[in-house]
Structure 1
């Protein structure tokens, strides 16, 4: 039987490392070399021939070998964890735990099987939780498991369908929500299996029902807040900071979308800065709540936007006019003149000019702002 199969399973994400842990050094070396060499030859061939196709071919074969490595480790762990130990000498235990004695050797099969059963249940739950909701179904939590499963795969199908239908690859950015659901489902299944093994009765509630009970009771789960904070704004909303969370989430997604549409690769460094600010701000808010400072004040990041909705309306109108010009006016010019290069140049200069105007306008606004003098 493999000691700590959960740790071995997570080490299996690194090619060959999980096999090294269970003593299968030959397979571990083989899988590690196959993954590295496939990727290496793809990079070398792509650089030598000047073709990106070789790199993607090498990446594909490396991914295939990694998948074979991971599946092989899972099959091995399932077989080892499910097999019964026969003919194993168990060290003597306290007389109160002795269940039978054969040929002078003391065995404690009841206690040993209980420990093995708990370990097997925990391992199978974590293994099934790699598919969101499946671990909950294994625990008998049908409603909670179906909610997670339908939410994960339904959101994935909707995003991909809309991106293909609207011919907007930038819409695939919203797929970053899926890892958050996956991580939440994994840790939630682990929490429930721990509660079950502790002797507590599991209640089949949906995720939304749990959140509502926590909100009404004034309680907030620290680990759940941390997991939700991976998505900017989601952790703030869970803590009850709706305005702050909505602004952070909308600002993060809108910035990624605008950087893709306007082709502002120069400002891509702002995205990780935005994410780090949102993540650590949520952790700070959670710390304040746990310290007993009372209810958190929902202070928006940009408070002047609420009192100046006129500027928000102007921005939305400008965005609508931009899409009219980009999708209708330029297409009409292209059909009339029949010059593809002309429309390409117009679209390029239009985006460049619009970006320059926005930056100049923001600079003028900052320079013209009055500095407030605080009274002594």
Structure 2
């Protein structure tokens, strides 16, 4: 099905919309989602450095629309896929993933819970304090960025120096004698 070149040009200005207009929904959704996540994370977590990626993503989406337009319609449908390989993420065994990464998921939940408590309980009071103690308000407003920075540093340390080694349980035939406690003799 041939699409209108003018509409493709207009939709190309919105990251992902041009791809969706041309029938590549997965690709368009992943571009829109990436653009939105980067924008929200930059504003929400006070990390303006993330905005460096927005023009790159915008230009990629803009020119990708015209590359897709040049592909015949029959071939487009076969090439439609998520940009970030999300297809496999929806078919994983989630129970096994949670069992393997329970500490990481639990830590993320704790951080999210503390952040929600901060924004719903502490932040409204800080707004009132901003007239009297502006430095304290500025310091506490930076808490989300501080949490992200500490998490990134912790992840870097973990990746650089490795995690704790988990020793394998002894196998039959190993030189290991299990202590069975006191014996009644």
TM range (shorter): 0.5 to 0.7
- For the pair shown, which has the larger CA radius of gyration, 1 or 2? 1
Q: Any idea what SS the aligned residue of 2:71 has?
A: helix
Candidates 225, 232, 252, aligned match of 2:8: 225
Deviation of 1:235 after TM superposition, in Å, equals: 0.9
**Relative to 1, partners in 2 of residues 1:220 and 1:359: Cα closer, same or farther, differing over 3 Å?**
farther
Asked if 1:344 corresponds to 2:138, the answer is: yes
Q: Any idea what SS the aligned residue of 2:82 has?
A: coil
Q: Any idea what SS the aligned residue of 2:38 has?
A: helix
Aligned to 2:82: 300
- Contact preservation (8 Å) 1:241, 1:296: no
Deviation of 1:228 after TM superposition, in Å, equals: 0.4
How big is each residue's C-alpha offset from its partner over 1:133-182, in whole Å with a ceiling of 9 and x where there is no partner?
xxxxxxxxxxxxxxxxxxxxxxxxxxxxxxxxxxxxxxxxxxxxxxxxxx
Separation in 2, partners of 1:354, 1:240? 40
Aligned to 2:31: 248
**Relative to 1, partners in 2 of residues 1:341 and 1:219: Cα closer, same or farther, differing over 3 Å?**
same
Aligned CA RMSD, in angstroms, stands at: 3.7
Deviation of 1:365 after TM superposition, in Å, equals: 9.0
- Contact preservation (8 Å) 1:289, 1:296: no
**Which 10-residue stretch deviates more, 319-328 or 241-250?**
319-328
Separation in 2, partners of 1:227, 1:362? 41
Separation in 2, partners of 1:236, 1:227? 12
Deviation of 1:273 after TM superposition, in Å, equals: 0.5
Candidates 8, 19, 27, aligned match of 1:236: 19
Which structure has more relative contact order (CA 8 Å, sep 6+)? It is 2
Matches within 5 A, 1:97-116: none
Contiguous gaps of at least 5 residues in structure 1: 1-217, 369-376
Candidates 317, 321, 324, aligned match of 2:116: 324
**Relative to 1, partners in 2 of residues 1:222 and 1:323: Cα closer, same or farther, differing over 3 Å?**
farther
Q: TM-score, normalised by structure 1?
A: 0.32
- Contact preservation (8 Å) 2:46, 2:145: no
How big is each residue's C-alpha offset from its partner over 1:248-275, in whole Å with a ceiling of 9 and x where there is no partner?
1122122122212222223322110010
Q: TM-score, normalised by structure 2?
A: 0.59
Structure with more of its chain in helix, by fraction = 1
Aligned to 1:355: 148
Separation in 1, partners of 2:158, 2:11? 35
Separation in 1, partners of 2:158, 2:25? 28
Q: Across the two proteins, how many residue pairs are aligned to each other?
A: 145
